[in-house]
Amino acid sequence: MKHRQKINGHHNVSWIERVGHKIPDPVILFILFYLIVLLLTGIFGGYSFQTIGSNGSTVEYQIQNMFTTENTRWIFQNAILNNWLAYAGGILGTILIVMFGIGIAEESGLLSTLIRKLGGKVSDRILPYVLVFLGILSNIATDAGYIILIPLAGLLYLALGKHPIIGMSAAFAGVSAGFSANLMPATVIDVIVGTNTKAFALNQGVPFVSMLGRNLNPFTMHYYFMVTSTFLLVLLGGFVTNKWIRPKFEQDEYVIPPDLDFSEFAIQQAERKALRWSGIGFLLALLAAFALALGPLRAYINADGDKVVPFLDHIILLITFVFLVSGCFYGFASGKFKNWNDLVNAMVKQMNSMGYVIVLTFFCYNFLALLTFSNLGTYITFIGAQGLKSIGLANSPILILICFILLTALINLFVGGLTSKWMLLGPIFIPMLYQANSMMTPEVVSAAYRVADSCSNTITPLMTYAGVILLYMRKYKPSYTIGDMIATMLPYSIVFLIAWTILLILFIVLRIPFGF
């Protein structure tokens, strides 16, 4: 019976892989969607419809035929600047700036050393919880969790005489299934989700205000929810590891690779010294940020009587500055940076990895701009909202959210990448769910998306690092398959999805602000 279950499990995984591999790259998808929307505007151009605006008044729309001379000119006049570089207030530039600071901290070796130092200083009893926690925090440093923390977790457990896959599973759960949670505000994920959410909302007349009626900051609108989520997932991740994963592998055999070098992750004396210097840099950067918050960037009341908080409006630049200074102090103290050219090269190297983002955003943002300008996007969301009302879901906001979470988690099995999926789902569901029920404000819907997207990361063979993680695990268990890995990670995925959804519902029911 066990043998049959393994075969069936592998068969199911193969089915997911086959379907996933038939789905084109997101760049190709957005090109196809652009052409489809263009064709539909030619067919339905001139069609008028009415929706209810945010203030309760009737708003009339007309689908624009993009094949007219004037609209064709609009496509070419706006393709580069307005529809791409300036989309959502220049979100592309914001993402690139964030990567400057993180790139310096990562290329200097600071983030790698911090992970190794923290991971090697804990007891066996709390190690699973620490690994999940470090996994969640490592998402600040893009790929560091996958490349450093997961193999380190295997070594830590091996040194304790325990099965390495136990530790690697806990770390994998934190890095991948806890992808959206963090203690740090305004992470890259916050920037991508938040800024685009604001654009999706405003493009279709949805107020960018919270369920409590407060103006939203796209960079920090989920901060309270994500901090709470971090502690919840750490407790659950450690519990799942000790309750299911540890007993599963405790008596299982594993091999010790002959070329294994335990010193690979050891903290060297030069790194300890550099850490102290980075701490000094971190404090100096924080003091500078604090001085700005009390000085030029302090809050004030503008001519219209509204309160403006420049410190929060520019928090991305300030956090980038803190990362950059800390990374510089570490890099020069450790000898990784020998001159200022090395610093520039570190930033350039990080930008080299952003080439795909630049290509993706050009086609994606032009597609979204076309969808908005033609009013076809408004019509699609109008039809969707009417459909939800007709089947009675409009009166059940919690049920709407649960359905949206399950749909997103399912799509995530076949279409990887948080950004590309949000570009596909966000412009439709942000206005649609708000039109169906006004409780579905932008920060609620986008928080639900982040929950669903994270939880199913570890159980899809199409996740970017799935093959890499499998290779790590096969070092200790050569017969380990992708199906075995998914079966191991499934308890994390299910527990995280259920508990995280319940937490989301509690925030809504108790009217707890998601962020600031």
> What is the C-alpha to C-alpha distance for residues 322 and 93, in angstroms, rounded to an integer?
18
pLDDT band for 2, please (50, 70, 90 cuts).
very low
Q: Which of the four pLDDT bands, split at 50, 70 and 90, describes residue 387?
A: confident
Structure confidence at residue 265 as a pLDDT band (50, 70, 90): low
Compute the average pLDDT of residues 137-157. 80
CA dist., res. 120 & res. 492, Å (int): 23
What's the rounded mean pLDDT across residues 337-353? 87
Long-range contacts of 69-76 (CB under 8 A, 24+ apart): 71/373, 71/374, 74/373, 75/370
4 pLDDT above the threshold of 50: no
- Between 137-151, 152-166, 245-259, the lowest mean confidence (pLDDT) is in 137-151
Distance CA 248, CA 198 (A): 45
The mean predicted confidence, pLDDT, of the chain is: 86
What is the DSSP annotation of 202-243?
HHTT---B-TTSPBPPTTTTTHHHHHHHHHHHHHHHHHHIII
pLDDT digits (tens, 9 = 90+) for 92-104: 887 788 777 877 8
Residue 214's closest CA among 36, 441, 397?
441
More confidently predicted of 334 and 415: 334
Q: Locate the DSSP E strands across 53-206.
A: 58-62
Report how far apart, in Å, the C-alpha atoms of 341 and of each of 99, 335, 337 are. Answer: 18, 13, 8
> Dihedrals φ, ψ of 48, to 5°?
-110, 150
- What percentage of residues in the chain have a pLDDT greater than 70? 91
Closest Cα to residue 366, out of 122, 21, 15, 32?
Answer: 32
Residue 342 confidence (pLDDT) above 60? yes
Who has greater pLDDT, 509 or 303? 509
Reduced to 3 states, what is the DSSP secondary structure of residue 387?
helix
Confirm if 146 and 110 have CB atoms less than 8 A apart.
no
Q: What is the pLDDT of residue 391?
A: 83
3-state secondary structure of 301: strand
Closest CA to 150 of 402, 458, 508: 458
Question: Which tens digit of pLDDT belongs to each residue from 203-232?
Answer: 888 999 999 999 999 999 999 999 999 999
In this prediction, residue 465 has a pLDDT band, given cuts at 50, 70 and 90, of confident
Q: Rounded to 5 degrees, what angle do the CA atoms 185, 169, 150 make?
A: 65
Strand partners, 300: 308
More reliable by pLDDT, 36 or 308: 36
